[in-house]
A and B are shown apart, each in its own frame.
Chain A
Amino acid sequence: MTGGSWLCLLAPLAGTILILVGGSWIPRVVAAWIATISVFVAFGGAIWAFLSVHNQQYTGCLNGTCRGELTTAWTWLAAGHFSVPLQLLVDPLSTMMMLIVSGVGGLIVLYSIGYMDGDEEERRYFAYISFFVFSMLLLVEGGNLLMLLVGWGLVGLSSYLLIGFWHERPSAVAAAKKAFVMNAFGDATMALALFIVIAHTNSLSFGVLNVHFSSTQANLIALGLLGGAVAKSAQIPLQTWLPDAMEGPTPVSALIHAATMVTAGVYLIARTSPIFEQARTIELMAAGLGALTLLVAGLIALVQTDIKRVIAYSTMSQIGYMFVGVGVGGYANGMFHLMTHAFFKALLFMTAGLAIHALANEQDIRKMRGLGRVMPFTKWCFLAGALALVGIPPFAGFFSKDPIIASTLNIGWYGYVFYACGIAGAFLTGLYTFRLWFLVFPGEPSPFVREHYHDHNGREGAWTMLVPVGILAVLATIGGWIQFPPHWDPITKWLAPVAPSLADAVPSSTQETVTSIVSVLVGLAGIAVAWAVYSERKIAIPAVPSVRRILENKFYFDWLYDRIFYAPGVWLANVLRREFEEPVVLQTGTDLGETTLAAGGIVRRLQTGLLRTYVLLLAAGAAGVVLAFLIAK
């Protein structure tokens, strides 16, 4: 059992080290394949771990997990009674995440062989991306809260490195900094929460979360953890970094900002669910933030013109759904949507990448009309992903999104608010997704497309790009069939030992059915409106300039944060530089030099060259020595 988890964790790290050591001695494509093979080896390890958990007999609950096993390498930190071992946890929740991360990750790394082909710094890219896979696996496999936090920080670092990969672009560098700083805020709140845990229980293993905390402590801990989750998953109010993160290469957007890293917040809430259940208010606050985000992101996506940004806001919106799911207590629902979302969102990003590549790095959708005529494979794969996203049966999203919306019905009046948000969100999802589809793919190719489209030896892309897209298209279609509550729900049963759903979060089968039908109808309505407005031009968009302005400025979050945080920070830095750094710190160096020169000038005057001076010094020295002897006597 544990061998699989160690293999899974260490294979990508070995890949990174091999690429680093190889340096410029290995050809770029070799580095690419090292990374890809290491992630697929990790996937093998994940399957091994999954099978061993599946076959293990139920032996009781231990350390916050039932049906799981902790494997320890050595004791990492030890101070008195407090110790943190270097350990991995293999249990149903972690193996599920391992499979998703390494499986979808492997496909995306394979895709990036074709996407990044020809880039000068390919080796650096593949070293970073296998390091990212290692960090994400450390996050999900971490056996105690500190290992989770280490993985948390490392994925933030990898995200920074990969967003700013094309570091000659100032916009990329700025986006990387923004992402890192916002994530650092979340890291800080998480660390504060862990401090409270240590203060109360003197341990950081997952089992301590079952200990009874006082209400204030539980609220503070949950709030700190929620801060980290909100930062990492780009929910309101820490969401502004995610659209800017699209400066990175498209596979990076697919892997980090769609499938894996941004979903770490959902994983965190599921993993630490005992403490969130002790602080129910904070858990419901998570759901509330998720509901708000899914609406806001859906609205902003309506006016975006960059193809990757539309998909980024869609990611933000879908993670809002996941937060609603885990916030009300249906952890399995949230995790299931995480899985299907990984499939279809990565698929959407990768097909967008195919289009961007074919059009020589053009990302403006207003220029891309009629692309489906020249890129049919891309068109159909994108359509599969779009239908999965909107939640039309039999595609994957239908099976995962509707249980989340339905689970909000039994928790009180705010549940109804979440329900309304979820249904409205479904409409918006249909609208913006098919706005994108209708603007880009059907119809006659635009002059821009005719002029700039170039294929790859007769095919739409290298095989390394087309194969993963195809596989994900299949998964996006059939991936949802694994769970269809209330008829069959293996995932809920699988996760039950670790994160059992709260009773309030389980809807009755009537509620479930009604919700499914309503959300499908609403999604189809969205598609219809999009068709009417963007394809056939039957209805014109109502022109409300003020609304349009609000949406285009992303609800003024960036403007606000710039004024509250960035401008004062820059002012303070300039003041410090002017008043302290230049006069004191820098001047010290100059002053030291000048003082030494002056002292040397004074001492130089002793060297007169005259015999009498030196004899005088001798006599003075002798007098001094005798004086010392006299005093000693």
Chain B
Amino acid sequence: MLGPDVAWYIAVAAFLFGIGALGVLIRRNTLVVLLSLELMLNGGNLALIALSRQWHNGAGQIFGLTVMAIAASEVCVGLGLVVALNRRNLSLDVDTLSELRG
């Protein structure tokens, strides 16, 4: 394969995943948390596609496409939640949303 070895791709994917995890853990705005989740998913996707190329296994790309579809659905539902929260005039701060009722 031309260019870097698959190990470099995996390293980038790992860093991307780590950055996304940090974002989920630290940010308080729900929307930004969802964006960080997207980062994590993309990191995993990159690892999948890279290894699919490495081992000439089509399942990796298929899995990556599926992950993309799932991520889209999850964003849809998550944003629906945010809209519903906003409709009820609730704060979007993750720390404030600490009780199950209301």
A residues neighboring B (CB under 8 Å): 608-612, 615-616, 619
Contact = CB atoms under 8 A, between A and B. Distances in A.
A201 B73 CA distance: 90
Interface string B58-81: 000000000000000000000000
Contact of B98 (A610, A615, A616, A619): A610
B33 to A, nearest CB: 8
Given A609-B98, A612-B25, A612-B26, 13 more contacts: A608-B98, A609-B99, A610-B94, A610-B95, A611-B94, A611-B95, A611-B98, A612-B28, A612-B94, A615-B24, A616-B25, A619-B21, A619-B25
* Residue among B21, B26, B99 having the largest count of chain A Cβ atoms under 10 Å: B21
B92 to A, nearest CB: 12
B97 interface: yes
Main secondary structure of the interface of B (DSSP, over half): loop
Contacts of A608: 98
A610 B99 CA distance: 9
Contacts of A609: 98-99
Nearest to B100: A609
Interface string B24-38: 111010000000000
A619 B21 CA distance: 8
Interface in B79-102: 94-95, 97-99
10 contacts: A608-B98, A611-B94, A611-B95, A611-B97, A611-B98, A612-B25, A612-B95, A615-B24, A615-B25, A619-B21
Q: What 6 pairs across the A-B complex have the smallest Cβ distances?
A: A609-B98, A611-B94, A610-B95, A616-B25, A610-B98, A619-B21
A611 B94 CA distance: 6
A486 to B, nearest CB: 107
A375 B13 CA distance: 117
Nearest to B21: A619
Nearest to B99: A609
Contacts of B99: 609
A611 B98 CA distance: 7
A616 B99 CA distance: 18
B93 to A, nearest CB: 10
Contacts of B26: 612
B19 to A, nearest CB: 13
A611 B25 CA distance: 9
Contacts of A612: 25-26, 28, 94-95
A619 B28 CA distance: 17
Contacts of A616: 25
A259 to B, nearest CB: 82
Interface string B1-37: 0000000000000000000010011101000000000
A70 B95 CA distance: 89
A609 B98 CA distance: 5
Contacts of A615: 24-25
Nearest to B97: A611
A474 B95 CA distance: 103
Contacts of B98: 608-611
A610 B98 CA distance: 5
A609 B100 CA distance: 9
Nearest to B95: A610
